[in-house]
Structure 1
């Protein structure tokens, strides 16, 4: 038995749990007639999750003031599908962030407003597993809500899933996605080429940039490649110089050192891309 701390609505309560302290319990009618201090059987809950952060608790409570209960129930089914598909438990902050995001996204779609995502392709390349799951979920949501969620929304959902999987802040992930897009723009301007987003060399470059950012963020640097660096500097001076420009941008944005070895791998990717145009 758990103790009720706060009734949020007829189907959602915050309760005191012996192991997890405060938990959110969700179940049909679980909060009906309950008041703080009452006991409630945990097995009556269809879903429970922990929101340890006080700010997230407050955000979830506020969420219930404007998101209807049927949508909350749908989102719980939605998140259970993701967890079942991945075989892991997602970080609980997704209950707040993704519920809020999708509720307003669906409202905009129902009002005829368009949703654009300029980084959708880059997101798919960086996080293919999350993007594939988001694609399946969008198809399911379209049927459940009788709406047509645009493809651009898949990328946003994929970022939320990645954030919950890796326990990384969504704002940081968005910042890194924007950084990759900025780097691609610098490449196009400096090489004076329009890059085909379907080119296999572009796909490899985007994946490399995301991995490079992650390595810099985690401090997992690669071994130096001094001999190869000198050869590339002589053979491909334009791409080699551009690689250093990209590294300086990364260093400024990430506020962390980028290892010299990165110039070797970037030069090779840039040269392959330049030759394929």
Structure 2
């Protein structure tokens, strides 16, 4: 048995748990008529989550001040669908981040305002599993709310899911995406080309950048030596090889982490494919 601490609305309340201290219980009508100090069984809840971080607890409580109760219920159902689909428990900060994002996204759509997502193809390439689940979420919400959520939102939702899966801060993920966009712009200027954002070679390059940046950020640096191949590429494709090193220096500066020399080999090969096709 848990003890009711505070009723937030008819469908959400805060309770005292013997192991986790404060927990948030959600379920249709679970808070109706409840008083602080009353006992309540956790089985009455459709979902309960801990939100151990005090700041996230406060953010969730503030969320309930402006988000409709019905939408909170819908989002709790949405979280369960994502977890069932991925067969994993998501980091609970998604309850705050994704609920807040989608609430305002739906409001904008209902007002006829469309926010463009410039990194849609890049997100799909970098996080295909999350993107697929996000697409299912959008289709489900379209039916539930009788609206037409634009495709750009799929990318934003995918980033929230990736953040909850990896326990990475969304702002860090966005910084990495912006870094990749900066690298791509430098590639286009340096090689004097316009890259097709749907081209398979471009998507492979973006996927490589994402994987490399995540490894470098985590300090997971592989120790593969590619000195012989590096010399061959330096002689055969000097423009792409020199550009690869320029990109590596930018990555080091932005990430404040060492980038392994082997990256020059992989980036050169990607650049050569792109420039050759152009």
TM-score by length of 1: 0.98
Q: Provide the residue aligned with 1:101 in structure 2.
A: 101
Give the Å deviation of 1:246.
Answer: 0.5
| 1:248 maps to 2:249 | yes
Partner of 1:144, secondary structure, is helix
**RMSD of aligned residue pairs (Cα, Å):** 0.9
Moved over 6 A (4+): none
Q: Provide the residue aligned with 2:44 in structure 1.
A: 44
Q: Provide the residue aligned with 2:265 in structure 1.
A: 264
- In structure 2, C-alpha distance between the alignment counterparts of 1:71 and 1:216, rounded to whole Å: 39
Give the Å deviation of 1:36.
Answer: 2.0
Q: Provide the residue aligned with 2:277 in structure 1.
A: 276
Give the Å deviation of 1:208.
Answer: 0.7
- In structure 1, C-alpha distance between the alignment counterparts of 2:70 and 2:11, rounded to whole Å: 10
52-61 or 34-43, which moves further after superposition?
34-43
18-27 or 60-69, which moves further after superposition?
18-27
Stretches of structure 2 that go unaligned for 5 or more consecutive residues are: none
The alignment of Structure 1 onto Structure 2 pairs a total of residues equal to 277
Residues 221-243 of structure 1, C-alpha deviations (whole Å, 9 max, x = no match): 23121111111111110000000
Matches within 5 A, 1:1-277: 1-222=1-222, 223-277=224-278
Residues 194-221 of structure 1, C-alpha deviations (whole Å, 9 max, x = no match): 1112222111111111111012112222
- In structure 2, C-alpha distance between the alignment counterparts of 1:215 and 1:162, rounded to whole Å: 15
Give the Å deviation of 1:35.
Answer: 2.2
Contact kept, 8 Å, 2:11 with 2:73, in 1: the verdict is: no
14-23 or 138-147, which moves further after superposition?
14-23
